[in-house]
Amino acid sequence: MKVIETLDELRAQIQDWKTAGLKVGFVPTMGNLHAGHISLVDFAKQSADKVVVSVFVNPMQFGPSEDLDKYPRTFEQDVEKLSAAETDVLFFPSVALMYPKGMSQTRVCVPEHLTGLLEGATRPGHFDGVTTVVTKLFNMVQPDVAVFGQKDYQQLQVIKSMVEDLAMPITIITAPIGRDVDGLALSSRNQYLSAAQRQVAPKLFVVLNDLALALKSGNSNVAALEATAIQQLLAEGFDAVDYVSVVDAQHLMALTETQIQQKLAQKQPCLVILAVARLGNSRLLDNILIN
């Protein structure tokens, strides 16, 4: 595996591959890698001849109440994991390379109907930081395909919308949520859970599954189902619940009972249950697609 830190070297490598007719896959990350990230690399390898993984802790997507300095940097371990996964290039840009003008630069903003709710409501400006850095990385790597995980579902839909709206010649591939044996979604945040909290954490997936089963059985009273799920999570030992929301799988819009019933009659994925629950200082995200 080659570690590249400059744009000139990266572009030279990409040009060599493209001249040879090779398809380039890309997986953007912020490092602190776990098995879920490596599964994204595996997905990219299935769809491309060469795979680039970026590790960049993006300051633009951190809010004023979020501690950028405390975000784990585990570069040496990340290199070992990516090398073992047979990644072709690890792109490790500096903040100076990504933002030579500082934060006061051109930004990419996706419409508020996708970014002003759920995660966007609790983390103002977060998605502008995500779309800006992903656009820059896309321009640098020039991939044919890029892989994003389903776990950060709202981010996935924001990226898909941006790629479509800006006519970017990139295919976005969705990798399913990687889970531990007890159902807990793999996340860098899991390492901060105490032993007692780790016992509670898998209940998030259990409660979401119960909600999904209720929907599939014909219960379309979404407000009541969401309220029940929140009560169950608090009863199971979660400290707080930011949201449990049943929304349209593509547009993330809230739906009426009639719309829910109509969508459940479809055969394609049409609804998604999104949730964030807190244990101590850890925010745990999870989601389930319906149908």
What are the pLDDT digits (tens) for 185-211? 999 889 889 999 999 999 999 999 999
Domains of the chain: 2-175 (3.40.50.620), 190-290 (3.30.1300.10)
Residue 2, φ and ψ in degrees, nearest 5 = -100, 135
The token pair that represents 41 in the structure block: 């690399």
Q: Is the pLDDT confidence value at 291 over 80?
A: no
Query: Would the annotation count 31 as a binding residue?
Result: yes
For the chain, percent of residues with pLDDT exceeding 70:
99
Q: How confident is the model at residue 224 (pLDDT cuts 50, 70, 90)?
A: very high
Q: What is the pLDDT of residue 189?
A: 87
Burial of 236 (0-12, 13-18, 19+ CB in 10 A): middle
Helices (H) and strands (E) in the chain, counts: 12, 9
154: annotated binding-site residue? no
pTM for the structure as a whole: 0.94
Residue 233 pLDDT: 99
Q: Which pLDDT score, from 0 to 100, does residue 110 have? A: 86
DSSP 8-state assignment for residue 164: H
Known binder of ligand: residue 98? no
Cβ atoms of 271 and 289 within 8 Å: the answer is: yes
The residues pairing with 25 across neighbouring beta strands, listed in sequence order, are: 51, 145
Query: Bigger pLDDT: 104 or 181?
Result: 181
Is 32 annotated in some ligand binding site? yes
Q: Where are the alpha helices (H) located in the chain, listed in sequence order?
A: 7-19, 35-47, 75-84, 95-98, 112-115, 119-122, 126-141, 153-165, 195-200, 203-216, 222-236, 257-264
For range 272-280, the mean pLDDT: 97
Given a cut of 70, whether residue 268 has pLDDT beyond it is no
> Is residue 37 annotated as a catalytic residue, yes or no?
yes
Whole-number Å distance between alpha carbons of 37 and 101: 30
186 belongs to an annotated ligand binding site: yes
| Options 37, 113, 126, 251, the catalytic residue | 37
Q: What is the pLDDT of residues 111-170, one digit of tens each?
A: 888 888 999 888 888 899 999 999 999 999 999 999 999 999 999 999 999 999 999 999
Q: Residue 222: is its pLDDT beyond 70?
A: yes
